Amino acid sequence: MLSTDDDILNRAESWRRDGKGVAIATVVETWGSAPRPVGSHLVIDEEGNFLGSVSGGCVEGAVVTEAMDVIESGGSRMLEFGVADETAWRVGLSCGGRIKVLVEKVS
């Protein structure tokens, strides 16, 4: 079962209250087939803990890594992921879809 937006935002708020650095990743665009729709969220803390989903597979791991950098440096990053059909399933993007994900530090 996927987490709801309320679950994700409540976790972000809880981690911030605990003094942790936090980032939120949001799917802002999709092309073709994409595992998660626009508006899907993933919240990440400074230790790499996360809740939610923006894609799955290797994409999610890359977003977590970028989010930890954003927490440390501040600001935001726009990430784009896309693969050819023959490698799509291996990295978690079915049918060759592409996604664009905005990663922002929560303050």
Which of 45, 54, 98, 103 lies closest to 79 in space, CA to CA? 103
Q: Going by DSSP bridges, is the β-strand pair 41-45/76-82 parallel, antiparallel, or unpaired? A: unpaired
Q: How high is the pLDDT of residue 2?
A: 66
What pLDDT score does 1 carry?
A: 54
pLDDT of residue 58: 77
Query: pTM of this prediction?
Result: 0.86
- Other Cβ atoms less than 10 A from the Cβ of 19: the count is 7
Cα separation, 74 vs 59, in Å, equals 21
Residue by residue, pLDDT tens for the chain (107 residues) are: 567 888 999 999 999 999 999 999 999 999 887 888 999 999 999 999 999 999 877 788 999 999 999 999 998 999 998 765 554 555 555 556 789 999 999 98
